[in-house]
Amino acid sequence: MVTGFKGLIFAGPSLLIVVWVTLIGFASGGSISLSLALLRMRAKKARQAGKLSGMAQLIGYVFAAVAPILIGLLFDLTHNWIVPLIALVLVSILLTIAGFGAGKNKHV
């Protein structure tokens, strides 16, 4: 995702924009699938997995509901897409860091 968003910041020819958006799409789909799999892999029991899943999905869906409004606000304040794209790069980096933490072979 980081590469895709950085690519959109620097844009380039139309064909490259298609590549960047495709990278973002594949990475986004992969990250949601991986995060749901990790929820079960990091829990010892099904009940614990349910609680962990509920907490993670609550936070994720609240963020997913608020993020488009914040990105739109950033665009309205700056009148260009550079700042919102930089914000998405930062969020993608945080997602990567969280993924490495969740990917450790430990139970919660």
Please report whether residue 107 resides in a domain. no
**Quick one: pLDDT band at residue 73, thresholds 50, 70, 90?**
very high
Instruction: Tell me how many domains the chain contains.
Output: 1
Q: What is the DSSP letter of 44?
A: S
CB 1 within 8 A of CB 26: no
Please report whether residue 28 resides in a domain. yes
CB 53 within 8 A of CB 39: yes
Please report whether residue 108 resides in a domain. no
The Cα-based distances of 81 to 9, 14, 32, 74, 85 in angstroms read: 8, 16, 25, 8, 6
Q: What is the pTM of this model?
A: 0.83
Q: Domain limits at 70?
A: 2-102
The pLDDT tens digits for 2-21 are 999 999 998 778 889 999 99
